[in-house]
Chain A
Amino acid sequence: MDVFAALVGQEAATVTFRRAAAEADALVKAGRGLGTEENAQSGARTGAMTHAWIVTGPPGSGRLEAARAFAAALQCRTGTGCGECPGCHTTLTGSNADVRMVVPEGLSIAVADMRALVMRAGTAPSGGRWQVVVVSDADRLTEGAGNALLKAIEEPSPRTVFLLCTPSTHPDDISVTIRSRCRVVPLVQARPEALAAALAEGQGVAPDVAAWAAAAAQGDVELARRLAGDPEVRKRREAVLTVPRKLTSVGACFDAASALIESAEAEAAALVAEMDSGERADLERALGAGGTGRGAAGAMRGAAGQLKDLEKRQKSRATRAQRDALDRALVDLAGFYRDVLAVQFGAPVRPVHGDTAANAKAAAGKWTAESTLRRLEAVLGCREAITLNVKPRIAVEAMMLSLWRG
């Protein structure tokens, strides 16, 4: 299967990448690299290929997948991204020696990591094609790390390609000096039809379910897959969408808030619990737990501090996961009020939540457009409050009460 098939609804970007990969292949076959004298003289270059790229796009548009597919096409023996040859295969599975992925787990990418990476990036590709560096969240580069990367991008080796993924080219996301040396490939929010087709084709989802999931996911490919495939995710979403109907009194608001918080907590706990226990077991083993013989007990004596550190990190990750889960629920909720507003204005747009369109219509008849807008504002305000570190329970309760009053 073609490596670009995984990119849903990104036709323009795919064309750009294909042309670049084709020219890259021609260069490899001619035994040349980028930026050499011979290229200029021969006039063979069309300019489709360059050494530094920025892939931008909204959340869920598959920036990293796009970068990976392009990397595979560069390593492909046929130069098209066939998806069959060893080059494509090893890149997609992450085992290609000439493709380096930088996927930060923490909040930022440190300068030391970047320097080491830049050093490796300067070497010739061992497979004879291209040395590819993919930075998955280039918006997390610290200033120092960005400068280290800039040096390499300014004076690239002939066979080195940088692929940076960021949400946008706003200076907050990526420094202008890097941006000005890269070619930008914008990804778009996938249209629901394209997403539905991809779901139906790729995962064998029934067409009606696929269409519904695609609309509900609002262009987020990953979310659409989960909605179509995971009944738990679907159940949580349905629970969220019943919230507007449940808000009948002040007491009901608090019950709804509790239910929402608890569901987010449960989702986060399920997500991190397994990871947590695995990490803890690994660390304990590394510190010498469970050993026998002389000194085995003594080895663990100073380990409590390290275990505590680990617990602290895990707790912060759990909080993060919990907030993410809550945020997803709030986005769903905002989608519902957006649908109501669209009905009220008679806007010719598709509803986000096709399955609750009837509810949205009923609500549209009951509320004024102003009150719907106030409700939408309340949901968005709650999202912002949570990022400002307000206790989620308090923020959600205040939001529910506002939703009830309108």
Chain B
Amino acid sequence: MLAATRAVTSGYATGPVRVTEGGSRVTRATMSGVTAAIPPALTLVLGDEELLSARAIAQTVHAARAADPGSDVREYEGGALVPGEVAEMLSPSLFGGRRVLVLRAGQDARKDMITTLLAYAKNPDPEVHLIVAHLGGAKGKALADGLKSAGATVLAVPKMKGARERVAFVREEIRRLNGSCTEDAATGLLDAVGNDLRELAAACSQLMADTDGRITAETVARYYKGRAEVSGFTVADAAIVGDVPGALEALRWALHVGVDPVPIADALADGVRTVARVASAGRGSAYQLASSLGMPAWKIERAQRQSRGWSPDGLVDAMQAAADCNAAVKGGAEDRGYALERAVVAVATARRAGGGR
């Protein structure tokens, strides 16, 4: 029953509930658009995007609070729940009034707990709002499925995949804060801040606080310099097109943020290999080449653009440099960073020189 001490009772509170999402300023803004309709008795927040999940819970809680300011809000952890507690949390309150029960990490709930919860879900108490957060995986699937079939309102918060979705998220976020954001500004922000939604949301609200609300690429460039997420592929892409300053900058960033030299060296070799194979395959549609080269079409398209300016001799030199670099980062060199820099320069030089012989 000690676990129950984690529960937050904030029946009298006037401000937002204890939900952190990248700064409290955001929280207040988030709540602005919520209607005061009474939320359903059963809500299932399904998905593994943490920020969105937290937001969905906060909105539901807020709606319940709006309907009855005296609501009693309690939070539980799925894994720490014990049977007695469930009975207590679901039983009618002695003093009456609405109650909001938030069960976080519902996928961790034990089997007997799930049975109890589902038995309750068949005949829910209209005075109680039960909000269950679930990651949506195979773990604890019975709870999610049972709640769904019991007629719970499902709020889907799946993980965002791909840059396009994140760009849309950033733009939507700025719009929600009554600003406007261009597409390239959103891309720039993603490059600078990274893919973490919390960080992105915080960055958006910060930008809105600092500017007049019209976010352009220049605005982002003024406030955010450098890159948060540089991988070996960024380095390789720049080196392959002969952009020595860009490649060296990316390499320094990558080493600075803690990318291991070995994957960078592998990415460099992979870049040269891809260009060499695509260049030697001749002209043709990327989709036709995709099956014969065993590569995705987008990769081939990019390599076709990159392969301009490469000669076969240059490719031989570049591959040799990549192989030497691979040995160097695995203990062959004193300074792995220097070995990588040399390889980057060698690859870029091989492209320009087109091979000595």
Contact = CB atoms under 8 A, between A and B. Distances in A.
* A-B complex is real: yes
B276 A395 contact: no
A293 interface: no
B330 A251 contact: no
B320 A388 contact: no
Interface residues of B, number: 22
Contacts of B313: 405
A391 B277 contact: no
Q: Size band of the A side of the interface?
A: 10 to 19
A385 B327 CA distance: 7
Given A397-B273, A405-B316, A388 B330 contact: yes
Interface in B314-351: 315-316, 319-320, 322-323, 326-327, 330-332
B312 interface: yes
Given A250-B315, A391-B266, A397 B280 contact: no
A404 interface: yes
Summarize B's interface: helix, strand, loop or mixed.
helix
Contacts of A36: none
B276 A250 contact: yes
Interface in A1-19: none
Contact of B326 (A249, A251, A394, A405): A394
Contacts of A251: 276-277, 280-281
Contacts of A402: 316, 320
Interface in B259-284: 266, 269, 273, 276-277, 279-281
Given A388-B332, A405-B357, A394 B323 contact: yes
Contacts of B331: 388-389
B315 A401 contact: yes
A258 B51 CA distance: 44
A390 B276 CA distance: 20
A397 B277 CA distance: 11
Summarize A's interface: helix, strand, loop or mixed.
helix
B315 A249 contact: no
Nearest to A387: B327
Nearest to A385: B327
B262 to A, nearest CB: 9
B323 A398 contact: yes
Contacts of B322: 394, 398
Contacts of B316: 250, 401-402, 404-405
B319 A401 contact: yes
Interface in A357-400: 385, 388-391, 394-395, 397-398
A397 B323 contact: yes
A397 to B, nearest CB: 6
A251 B266 CA distance: 19
Given A398-B322, A401-B316, A405-B316, A390 B273 contact: no
Select the residue from B273, B281, B320, B327 with max chain A CB neighbours within 10 A: B327
A391 B276 contact: no
Given A391-B269, A402-B316, A385 B323 contact: yes
Interface in A249-271: 249-254
A390 B280 contact: no
Interface string A229-258: 000000000000000000001111110000
A249 B280 contact: yes
A390 B266 CA distance: 10
Contacts of A397: 269, 273, 319, 323
A252 B327 CA distance: 24
B159 to A, nearest CB: 29
Contact of A394 (B269, B312, B315): B269
A254 B273 contact: yes
Select the residue from B312, B313, B322, B332 with max chain A CB neighbours within 10 A: B312
A390 B326 contact: yes
B320 to A, nearest CB: 5
Nearest to B313: A405
Nearest to B316: A401
Contacts of B281: 251
B224 to A, nearest CB: 36
Select the residue from A394, A397, A402, A404 with max chain B CB neighbours within 10 A: A394
A254 B274 CA distance: 10
A189 B100 CA distance: 86
A404 B355 CA distance: 14
Interface string B293-319: 000000000000000000011011001
B240 to A, nearest CB: 15
Contacts of A249: 280, 312
A394 B329 CA distance: 13
A391 B326 contact: yes
Nearest to A249: B280
20 contacts: A249-B312, A251-B276, A251-B280, A254-B273, A254-B277, A254-B280, A385-B323, A388-B332, A389-B327, A389-B331, A390-B326, A391-B269, A391-B326, A394-B322, A397-B319, A398-B319, A398-B320, A401-B316, A401-B319, A402-B320
Given A249-B280, A398-B319, A401-B319, 7 more contacts: A249-B312, A250-B312, A250-B315, A388-B330, A391-B269, A394-B326, A398-B320
Interface of B: 266, 269, 273, 276-277, 279-281, 312-313, 315-316, 319-320, 322-323, 326-327, 330-332, 357
The 9 closest A-B pairs by CB, nearest first: A251-B280, A398-B323, A250-B280, A401-B316, A390-B326, A394-B269, A388-B327, A390-B327, A389-B330
